[in-house]
Structure 1
Amino acid sequence: MAKIAFILLCHKDPKAIIDQATRLTAAGDYISIHFDARSSRSDFDMIQAALSENASVTFAKTRVKGGWGEWSLVEGTLHAVEAAVEAFPRATHFYMVSGDCMAIKSAEYAHEFLDADDVDYIESFDFFKSDWIKTGIKEDRLIWRHWFNERTQKWLFYTSMNLQKRLGLKRRIPADIQVQIGSQWWCLRRRTVEWILEFTRQRRDVMRFFATTWIPDETFFQTLVRHLVPDEEIETRTLTFLMFTDYGMPVTFYNDHYDMLLSQDYLFARKISPDAHELKRRLGALYASDTVDFKISNEGRNLFTFLTGRGRIGQRFAERFWESETTLGRDRELLIVVSKKWHVGKRLLQRLRETTNIPAIDYLFDEESTPLPDLGGIQGTIEKRTRHRRALMRMLFDYYQTDRLAIGMDPADIDLMKDFYADRSKTRLLEIETNFTDEWILGHALRVGLAGERTPEEAIERLIPTIRQDFFYESDRIRDEGFEETHIMRESGTVEENTEALAKFLTIPEERALEIARTEGFFGD
């Protein structure tokens, strides 16, 4: 009978991880956990303490700091696989899962399914000939060296790649491997996993190559399995059911998806909503049951297309999204940086990108040129961004795979602030209070079309105090709203006062906030 060692990469929600590990091992299987080194040490200690007496649980001996699209995700996976191979000699299969995956069949069914065929289950398509990559760079993932993260270090990522192009530093793919691509959710036999680990020790050239490719978790295991295992022993599919929206974001499953999930020809599903408590309860009970009779119809993708085509969010009985705006997510935190001087607000957001792991986006509701990822067109214009603001923000949280996101806003965007504060997510606001010289206000008036080169001097003299008063009015409106968790940095304030405001706004140690507050020329024009 098959015995599965689950390979779990995770970075948050320790209680859910403990529940998942307990549930999976209770059925006689094993689990090896890699908990991201960027995450809280106290959360990791909680997980270890809760599972310390469970002999079917092990942990990666080395924790690495993971980043989406980086080699670090493959590195963390390999550490967890190595720990599982050593700790669980009876494991016959190694199954990659995430913290928001859940079984949609019983353990008994899963074991019988894996026993039926002596094969590896992994998506493995030719990198260059297939159309697996729908958007974004393709060949550039491989032929240039990538040391920076495209999501958190966008400028460095593209500057480095373009510099290599200009210098002609294109590299060759190792001659004896044919790069493959596919989903990172695989299930491999023990022999295959042992071959892969041996390969990583012998072929340092291949390891160096993949270590500087972009998004290697979609190519590394896929390529090595195809290189090491005969084709007839590979099922080019994943056993984890997942779907994507038209915007390229993973579909989230809710309580009323239970019957649909059970009818899919898969063993697990991703991703389960953190708020779908009833679905989690029912799936957990199912995994522990002896049920093996499942009616497979595989209607999931057609059903989702049908429902979303009628304006629903993928649930049978959900309201249409224009009847009830989508939420950002209960456990998410939106950090709003408000400054009339956009260059000052952008300066702070840039410092956040440089000194923290919080993704920060400039004035996306005020500047159409703000760099944004391709989200299927919803990000295309300010009008679309504003009209579907909550949907857009939720997609950005999903894109950056984060629960904390910072954005810049003009003080005039009071309606947007009110809407985000009305969401069930947590919203914090930091207003940057700056001084406005007559010269700066005049420049502002020229930029926004309130004045021109031929505007009479007398009109300008009347206009400047009016604009200055309007700035004060916008600031007063924000304070009159009585938003919770609001903080102020002042150009006239001391470094200590601004450090305290930053530390509370970002919930970071004061020494890190001080580093940001001391930025040279922070308030400069």
Structure 2
Amino acid sequence: MAKIAFILLCHKDPEAIIRQAQSLTAAGDCMSIHFDASAKSEHYDRIREALRDNPNVTFAKKRIKCGWGEWSLVAATLNAVEAAIEAFPRATHFYMLSGDCMAIKSAEYAHDYLDRHDRDFIESYDYLNSDWIKTGWKEERLIYRHWFNERTQKKRFYAMFELQKRLGLTREIPHDIDVMIGSQWWCLRRQTIEEIIDFSKKRRDVMRFFATTWIPDETFFQTLVRHLVPEQEIESRTLTFLMFTEYGMPVVFYNDHYDLLLSQDFLFARKISPEALELKRRLGVLFSTEGVTFQISNEGRTLFNFLSNKGRIGRRFAPRFWEKESSLGRERELLIIVCKKWHVAKRMVERIRQMTNIPCVEYLFNDEACHLPDLGGIQSTMGKRHRHRRALMRMLFDYYKTDRLVVCMDPANLDLLEDFGRDRSTTRLLEIECQFSDEYLIDHIVRAGLAGACTPREKVERLLPTVRNDMIHESDQMRDAEFENHHHLREMDPSEVGVRAVADFLTVPSATAEAIVNVEQLFAD
């Protein structure tokens, strides 16, 4: 049976550390603690005194002053790991934690999970070829030497970087390793940990290299695990649930996040707020409880993005200045079908193709898989389509050799609708307004990843008002924008009203519009 040695790096709140250690070791696991040497000595003494009689707790033999982005974090981790290897010979797994982490599953569940999955859990993506680093330095972290702390010695840090850059003092990455990157929160098997310690003692060249890289806690273990362990024995993920805001700040969990945390496919979570005393109490009790069944829905990140992005939809892809100044062409007509139910709009588009000679493109700004012709790469990613929206549309007009084009968009694309509505070309909108039953919205919530197949129905139903109001809000925003040539096709309207709307939208005879609107099961789900 799995026995976990928790590797705890911490620097504050001694009472919380004591409670964390007592809780995690009560179920038979163990812990090795590194308490930052720059923290108050009386805090360290308090921790040691409180845990002195706990045989499942040990401490790193050497304490190090740690700084963000420094090698000191890795060195402190290695010291705690070596202490754990020596003190706990029966430990099968080593789990990296911080003082802000707490278990969100029972010890029984965690042990069973690790027994069933004989592998190392660590995020490890190719450093140079992946997009794990979104902005800022990439190669510079490795090929230049970083001796100073960027946060506390900013002038020295950047002065040394600029000096090396001017003098061309770059260095080679050790030839036999491929640098990887990922989250520093890992869970590794004992054999892997022992191989890492052995490697670190034999390969001083690799240790010297990482010692002067920047933010090595995101690369050192990630690289060595990939170097030492067969790929099929590694799962490139963390077992610690964590999220970040758009501003790169970690999401903090509070008392009302208990149910959400338990439903995620992770064993721990960070960061738990110091003020979330009730959440900490409930999670502490949970870890020692036996016989608990967990319904895993794993909707946390998707749900957070949905709720936090409300009111900011359409802000992500800002138009470039050359897009603002360009035009589709004064003589052209862009016909936009706006509908939340994509399958309804696609049925409408198929009938338009059959009854007219107007080229049609489906949800090109929403669906990565939307079929588009080769336009020189501008159509290849969703980001490019949004950034070069007008250029893309001009190229589609040219490709189809037409002055009239039908496209489908989601009501959430208000920024696109406003942009095209300001163009010198003629833009017409047909908003298809559908009815949304509770069952349809529940299916939509699952498809959107806001809930999982195992999410209890009562939890999903609590989301229904928010999702329904969100759809109503999108329609209200379109009305408030007061678009010219804005036509409406409502599911509840008589057929003749819809025929007039489609005839005006497409400028086609009523008979053609009637054949389009009266397609069988147009609004069926």
TM-score w.r.t. length of structure 2: 0.59
What whole-Å deviation, never above 9, does each CA across 1:6-54 have from its counterpart, x for those lacking one?
A: 0000000000000000000001000000000000000000000000000
The 1-side partners of 2:65 and 2:245 are apart by 29
The 2-side partners of 1:139 and 1:259 are apart by 41
In 2 relative to 1, CA 205–262 (structure 1 residues): closer, same or farther, beyond 3 Å?
same
Tell me, what secondary structure is at the counterpart of 1:9? strand
The 2-side partners of 1:227 and 1:270 are apart by 28
What whole-Å deviation, never above 9, does each CA across 1:303-346 have from its counterpart, x for those lacking one?
A: 2122223479xxxxxxxxxxxxxxxxxxxxxxxxxxxxxxxxxx
Is the counterpart of residue 121 in structure 1 residue 121 in structure 2? Answer: yes
Instruction: Name 1:354's counterpart in structure 2.
Output: none
Within 5 Å, which residues of 2 pair with 1:192-203?
A: 192-203=192-203
Amino acid at match of 1:84: A
Instruction: Name 1:308's counterpart in structure 2.
Output: 308
What whole-Å deviation, never above 9, does each CA across 1:438-458 have from its counterpart, x for those lacking one?
A: xxxxxxxxxxxxxxxxxxxxx
Tell me, what secondary structure is at the counterpart of 1:58? strand
Instruction: Name 1:205's counterpart in structure 2.
Output: 205
The 2-side partners of 1:136 and 1:16 are apart by 35
Count the aligned residue pairs.
Answer: 312
Amino acid at match of 1:242: L
% same residue: 74
The 2-side partners of 1:257 and 1:139 are apart by 38
Amino acid at match of 1:128: L
Within 5 Å, which residues of 2 pair with 1:146-157?
A: 146-157=146-157
Tell me, what secondary structure is at the counterpart of 1:301? helix
The 1-side partners of 2:214 and 2:59 are apart by 26
Amino acid at match of 2:224: L
Is the counterpart of residue 176 in structure 1 residue 173 in structure 2? Answer: no
Within 5 Å, which residues of 2 pair with 1:324-335?
A: none
The 2-side partners of 1:52 and 1:291 are apart by 31
1:292 Cα offset (Å): 3.9
Amino acid at match of 2:2: A
Instruction: Name 1:81's counterpart in structure 2.
Output: 81
Tell me, what secondary structure is at the counterpart of 1:7? strand
Instruction: Name 1:375's counterpart in structure 2.
Output: none
What whole-Å deviation, never above 9, does each CA across 1:90-122 have from its counterpart, x for those lacking one?
A: 000000000010000000000000000210000
- Structure 2 residue runs of 5 or longer lacking an equivalent are 313-525
TM-score w.r.t. length of structure 1: 0.59
Within 5 Å, which residues of 2 pair with 1:401-416?
A: none
Tell me, what secondary structure is at the counterpart of 2:96? strand
The 2-side partners of 1:54 and 1:136 are apart by 45
Instruction: Name 2:350's counterpart in structure 1.
Output: none
Is the counterpart of residue 54 in structure 1 residue 30 in structure 2? Answer: no
The 2-side partners of 1:188 and 1:291 are apart by 26
Instruction: Name 1:111's counterpart in structure 2.
Output: 111
1:247 Cα offset (Å): 0.3
Is the counterpart of residue 69 in structure 1 residue 69 in structure 2? Answer: yes
The 2-side partners of 1:79 and 1:291 are apart by 36
Instruction: Name 1:16's counterpart in structure 2.
Output: 16
What whole-Å deviation, never above 9, does each CA across 1:339-376 have from its counterpart, x for those lacking one?
A: xxxxxxxxxxxxxxxxxxxxxxxxxxxxxxxxxxxxxx
Within 5 Å, which residues of 2 pair with 1:345-424?
A: none
Instruction: Name 2:130's counterpart in structure 1.
Output: 130
1:155 Cα offset (Å): 1.3
Instruction: Name 1:93's counterpart in structure 2.
Output: 93
In 2 relative to 1, CA 91–154 (structure 1 residues): closer, same or farther, beyond 3 Å?
same
The 2-side partners of 1:135 and 1:310 are apart by 24
Tell me, what secondary structure is at the counterpart of 2:166? helix
The 2-side partners of 1:46 and 1:25 are apart by 18
The 2-side partners of 1:292 and 1:180 are apart by 37
1:134 Cα offset (Å): 1.3
Instruction: Name 2:273's counterpart in structure 1.
Output: 273
What whole-Å deviation, never above 9, does each CA across 1:138-196 have from its counterpart, x for those lacking one?
A: 11000000001111111111110110011111000000000000000000000000000
Instruction: Name 1:236's counterpart in structure 2.
Output: 236
Rg larger for: 2
Instruction: Name 2:140's counterpart in structure 1.
Output: 140
The 2-side partners of 1:68 and 1:165 are apart by 23
The 2-side partners of 1:93 and 1:291 are apart by 22
The 2-side partners of 1:292 and 1:177 are apart by 43
Tell me, what secondary structure is at the counterpart of 1:5? strand
Instruction: Name 2:191's counterpart in structure 1.
Output: 191
The 2-side partners of 1:116 and 1:89 are apart by 21
Amino acid at match of 1:204: R
Moved over 2 A (4+): 309-312
In 2 relative to 1, CA 311–153 (structure 1 residues): closer, same or farther, beyond 3 Å?
farther
1:281 Cα offset (Å): 0.7
Instruction: Name 1:263's counterpart in structure 2.
Output: 263
Amino acid at match of 1:182: G
The 1-side partners of 2:309 and 2:213 are apart by 37
Tell me, what secondary structure is at the counterpart of 1:6? strand
Tell me, what secondary structure is at the counterpart of 1:217? helix
Tell me, what secondary structure is at the counterpart of 2:188? strand
Tell me, what secondary structure is at the counterpart of 1:52? coil
Amino acid at match of 2:239: L
Tell me, what secondary structure is at the counterpart of 2:95? strand
What whole-Å deviation, never above 9, does each CA across 1:221-259 have from its counterpart, x for those lacking one?
A: 000000000000000000000000010000000111110
The 1-side partners of 2:284 and 2:123 are apart by 27
Instruction: Name 1:299's counterpart in structure 2.
Output: 299
Tell me, what secondary structure is at the counterpart of 1:12? coil
Tell me, what secondary structure is at the counterpart of 1:95? strand
Amino acid at match of 2:122: I
The 2-side partners of 1:14 and 1:309 are apart by 36
Amino acid at match of 2:111: H
What whole-Å deviation, never above 9, does each CA across 1:61-111 have from its counterpart, x for those lacking one?
A: 000000000000000000000000000000000000000100000000000
